[in-house]
Amino acid sequence: MKPAKSINLRKKILNVPDFPKKGIVFRDISPLLLDPQYFDEAIKKMLGKIKKLKIDVILGIDSRGFLFGPVLARELKVGFIPVRKVNKLLPGKILEEKYKLEYGEDGVKIHADSLKPEQRVLIVDDLVATGGTALATAKLVEKAGCHVAALLFLTELCYLSPRKALKNYKTISIIKFK
- pTM, rounded to two decimals: 0.92
What topology does CATH give the domain 46-177?
Rossmann fold (3.40.50)
Catalytic residue among 10, 64, 120, 163: 64
Domain ranges across the chain: 46-177
pLDDT of the residue at 3:
46
The sign of the CA dihedral 39, 45, 51, 57 is: negative
Count other C-beta atoms under 10 Å from residue 163's C-beta.
Answer: 15
118 is catalytic: no
> E strands within 29-159?
57-61, 79-85, 94-101, 104-111, 120-128, 147-157
Tens-digit pLDDT string for the chain (178 aa): 444 567 999 999 999 999 988 998 999 999 999 999 999 999 999 999 999 999 999 999 999 999 999 999 999 999 999 999 988 877 889 999 998 876 778 899 999 999 999 999 999 999 999 999 999 999 999 999 999 999 999 999 999 999 999 999 999 999 999 9
Q: Which residues contact 64 (CB under 8 A, 6 or more apart)?
A: 29, 125, 126, 127
Report H helices in 51-102: 65-76
Angle at 80 between CA 74 and CA 82, to 5 degrees: 140
96 is catalytic: no
Count other C-beta atoms under 10 Å from residue 85's C-beta.
Answer: 15
For 127-144, letters b (16+ CB in 10 Å) and e give bbbbbbbbbbbbebbeeb
Helix (H, G, I), strand (E, B) or coil at 43: helix
Q: Which residues contact 164 (CB under 8 A, 6 or more apart)?
A: 131
